[in-house]
Amino acid sequence: MKKRLYRSRTDRMIWGVCGGLAEYFDIDPTIIRIIFLVLIFANGLSILAYIILAIVVPLEGSKTTEPKEVVKENVAQMRDKAGELGREIRSTLAGEKTQPEEAGMTRRRHNLLGITLIVLGILFLMGSLNLLVWLRWSLLWPVILVAIGLIIIFGARRR
């Protein structure tokens, strides 16, 4: 049987790309995550590569085989995940309490949000110090604003 690349359902932090790559190459997923993180600071292409892989690589155990269907399924999953994150951001900012069974998931998402903010802060700091020649403020701010807008819109639709 041929070895296939899938996004992991069990070993995931965001969309399971690093867990799937680690399983495919039979190495520790932490190594893949560190490589992606280092490449963010090296040239920034790992963010784009991660998003592309999250869109085109099927989820482990997925029944879809057609590439077009895989992309549709993955984009729908990403939309749902963005909506969940938007709801959690709103509930956190509004100070709402969560159910005990959701506490672990909420904590994990809060950690993800915190890590995202830290990475953005480091990127902005390095850009201000002219340590990253590829970082262009004129492009980065609009991308961040569009992402926040999408999270808010998709989160509002899910209510």
pLDDT tens, residue by residue, 47-56: 888 888 888 8
Q: Which two tokens stand for residue 75?
A: 């984009």
Number of separate domains in the chain: 1
Q: Assign 7 to helix, strand or coil.
A: strand
Q: Residue 159 — very low, low, confident or very high, per pLDDT cuts 50/70/90?
A: very low
Does 24 fall in a domain? Answer: yes
Residue 96: pLDDT over 60: no
Does 1 fall in a domain? Answer: no
Does 9 fall in a domain? Answer: no
Q: Residue 65 — very low, low, confident or very high, per pLDDT cuts 50/70/90?
A: confident
Whether the CB-CB separation of 41 and 121 falls below 8 Å is answered with no
Does 79 fall in a domain? Answer: yes
Residue with tokens 């039979």: 26
Is this model's pTM higher than 0.85 or not? no
Residue 76: pLDDT over 50: yes
Q: Which two tokens stand for residue 4?
A: 């296939």
Q: Which two tokens stand for residue 141?
A: 């701010």
Does 12 fall in a domain? Answer: no
**Most confident segment among 38-42, 58-62, 63-67, 115-119:** 58-62
Average pLDDT of the chain is: 76
Q: Tell which wins on pLDDT, 107 or 101.
A: 107
Residue 15: pLDDT over 70: yes
Where would I find the H helices in 98-136? Answer: 103-128
Question: Which residue range forms the structural domain that includes residue 66?
Answer: 17-157
Question: Residue 85: its pLDDT value, please?
Answer: 76
**Percent of the chain at pLDDT above 70?**
70
Rg (CA), the chain: 17
Residue 87: pLDDT over 60: yes
116: nearest Cα among 32, 50, 29, 28:
50
Residue 158: pLDDT over 70: no
Does 30 fall in a domain? Answer: yes
Residue 63: pLDDT over 80: no
